[in-house]
Structures are given as structure tokens and as C-alpha cells.
A = this chain, B = another copy of it.
Amino acid sequence: MNSLPGKTVERLSEYRRTLLACLEEKRNFIFSHHLASRLHITAVQVRRDLMLIGYSSANRKGYDVKELIETIGGILDPDDGMNVAIIGIGNLGRAVAGYFKGKRSKLNLVASFDNDPQKVNKVISGVKCYSYDELEKMIPELNIRIAILTVPADYASEIAEEAVRFGIKGILNFTTKPLNVPSDVFLEEYDMITSLEKVAYFAKENTI
């Protein structure tokens, strides 16, 4: 199968999260318009995304929740799991580590990196923290493919470049510094100030 559009991949992840919540509520079937309304999108969008991954087996009761979770997992999840490291283990790094706890996931948090001597060689949020000097050794040794970048913005470019040189194939950049990476590395950037300015803009419209 060809690569799916990035937005479809995001929505598949959201569908799965919603479907898992359905399972917890003991709902075994769901209609496309229910799935859609929980995510504030249209049922057409849901059906189009599922068509893209070749899933069309809704019956009179709707989609089979378990079956759809498995189908989405078959698309999104790496077969053998994939190892992740958090680079920069301050408040944000620790918060991100918290998201991994107790999640059924094929993404394994296996290490963190920081240069604070108080942190290096300690176990923080469940994983061992290594120094930045050890990126070269530990990325291949632990087969780390994905880096979550939560370092201060000033170091972001330098550290990302090293991480890529030593084998990282995907970066989730939480710093405010936009990065450049080679074309065979996938980069996703998130700047919370942008989200916040968007909320402020529309909140202002609502207040007037």
C-alpha cells in the first residue's frame, strides 16, 4: 500500500483511541456518524478514511469495534514494535514519558537523554537517562528509531542533527525551534504557542 496522507494517519490514530474508549464502555459496535461526532468531524470523512485502508465491513449494527481496532493497528503499528527515546528530560520530557505508562502500544520508550549530571545514569519516569555524549552509542545499541525532542530551543538543531546522524528515522519536535532534517527522516513539529495563539484569536472573536 502507498503511504497514506498525514491527516488520514492522524485521524486513524484518533479513531483507534475513540474505539478503545468504546470497548471500555462495553460498546461492541459503532456507526460511522457516532464515531464522527465524537471527534467533531463528518461521517463522510470517517467512511472515506476507512475506504482508504480498505475497510468497509459495516453491518446493520455499524462497525465491529474490535475488528476495526485491529485493522487500524495493522496499518499504523510497526510489526515488531519501535523504540523511542525522549531527548531532554525536564518537565515536558517527564510529562511525555507519563503518556507511555500503561498504554498498550507497539511504541516502546527505552531511554532518555539529558546533560544534567543530576539525571544522567538515573532511572527517570521508568527509563534510564543517558548523557548526550552517549547518543552515538545508545541509538544503535537500543535500536532507537524515534526521538521526542524536548530540549531547550537553543540546543534543538544540534541535538536533532546528531540524533539523525546516529540513526533516528522520525522526530517529534516539541521545541519552539523549527528543524531541518534529511528527506528520509520524518519530522513532526508541535509548538504549543501556536495552538494557544489560535485559541486566543477565536476566544477574542467569541468575546466581542
Q: Which residues of A contact B (CB under 8 A)?
A: 3-4, 6, 9-10, 12-14, 17-18, 38-40, 75-78, 82, 84, 90-92, 94-96, 98-99, 103, 106-107, 145-146, 148, 150, 169-172, 176, 178, 184-186, 188, 190-207
Contact = CB atoms under 8 A, between A and B. Distances in A.
Given A197-B76, A198-B6, A178 B94 contact: no
Contacts of A188: 195, 198-199
Contacts of A40: 178
A46 to B, nearest CB: 14
B170 A199 contact: yes
Contact of A203 (B146, B199, B203): B146
Contacts of A3: 202, 205
A186 B169 contact: no
A185 to B, nearest CB: 7
Contact of A206 (B13, B18, B94, B184): B184
A206 B172 contact: no
B78 A17 contact: no
